[in-house]
Amino acid sequence: MGLRGMTTPRSDRPGYWIWTLSTVLVCLMAFAAILVRNYFPHTYLIGDSPYYAAAAASLVGDGDLKVENNLRGGLQRHSGFVSLGADGEWRPKHPILMSVTSVPFVMVFGVVGLLVFNVLVMTLLVMATHRLALRASGPVSATVATLVTCLLTFVLAYLYNYSPDAFGALFAVVALIFLLDGKSLGAGLLAGLALAAKPAHILFVMVGLLAVWHQGGRRQAMRFAAGVLPAVTALMIYNAILFGGPLLTGYDRILEADPVPRTVSQRSDFTLAGAPENLLWEILDEKHGLLYTAPSVLVGLAGLLALWRRRPLLAVLPSCLLVAYLLFFATFIPWRASHYGNRYLLVPVMVSVLPLAALFHQAGRRRRVSSPRATSLAAGSPAAL
């Protein structure tokens, strides 16, 4: 038995793939212009990216995850960005799924393979976002909504990058498509990969599980949970081997240099103090707030009502994801740790394509209904002949 209220979507029509591929082609032209304008060796390794790159380089060059010999400058330079393993070696602070996945690209292209990998991830993310938008509207509205989301928000700032946030968002968006199509097990598998890519996507897993439970009952929820289980099991084994316990992560053994070498946990970066103010700035901050860097998310809220009337789940999911991520990261002290926009909100920004597409679809219908030709056709006027 599938999820209640879920039917094969219109988006499965073969002709709709032409719209998806056209959307991808437009984005690729924009991507190419950005790459030509910005490319200079290694400058795409921004923020945490060099540490994901170091893990990939260690796997390719040494066949291990001892990253100290892949990072120059000693602990003073890399304080707070690496972790201390149970064996006393420097280990990746961040999840390694993206580093592992990009190993073939490094082997073929060298370091620039990381940028090639990121462009591929962004291209697939555009494709997945368009397929998701088709669940809420026709192809024209879905195409416009996808182009707005991918080209006119901070999402585009993560093209010239090696972005774990785009990587995790890709799994989340595809998982959501599977969920909406009633494929609970597949949705769970992909949600688990999103979690393995970025631990914060436990929020996505929780929202997805509740949605599946509500729509399909306990049996479908168990299928979703069973899909998540392999990724969780692999993470626990990895943690046990590298950090000494299944629930100890790289974020719990961060190596700092000052005042003397010591390990700290990033859990201390989460606090309710200042959360209301952070929540406000997540919307209004000029460099990182949604109002300035992803206004389409806020505009799209106007499409929730129309979406609710047609397919309630399509309205509930983006709303819950946006609220969950906003509230969670309002408690995170360094939530501004992005070179532009709020990368931690990339999943709800991509999923906001659903209400945005519904809004464009509704606006298009109103325009057609109010046009003189549509009026004359409805009235059976000879002028329409």
Residue range 39-61, pLDDT digits in tens: 999 999 999 999 999 999 999 99
Q: What is the pLDDT of residues 16-32, one digit of tens each?
A: 899 999 999 999 999 99
What φ, ψ does residue 52 adopt, rounded to 5°?
Answer: -65, -40
Per-residue confidence (pLDDT) for residue 5, from 0 to 100: 46
Q: What is the pLDDT of residues 68-104, one digit of tens each?
A: 999 999 999 999 999 999 999 999 999 999 999 999 9
Structure-token match 């003397």, residue found: 260
Alpha helix positions (H), the chain: 16-38, 49-61, 74-78, 97-101, 103-109, 113-133, 139-151, 164-180, 184-197, 202-243, 275-284, 290-293, 295-300, 304-310, 312-330, 346-351, 353-370, 372-379
Q: Domain map of the chain by residue range?
A: 10-366
Per-residue confidence (pLDDT) for residue 352, from 0 to 100: 98
Alpha helix positions (H), 285-352: 290-293, 295-300, 304-310, 312-330, 346-351
Say yes or no to pLDDT of 377 above 50.
no
Q: What is the pLDDT of residues 231-271, one digit of tens each?
A: 999 999 999 999 999 999 999 999 999 888 999 999 999 99
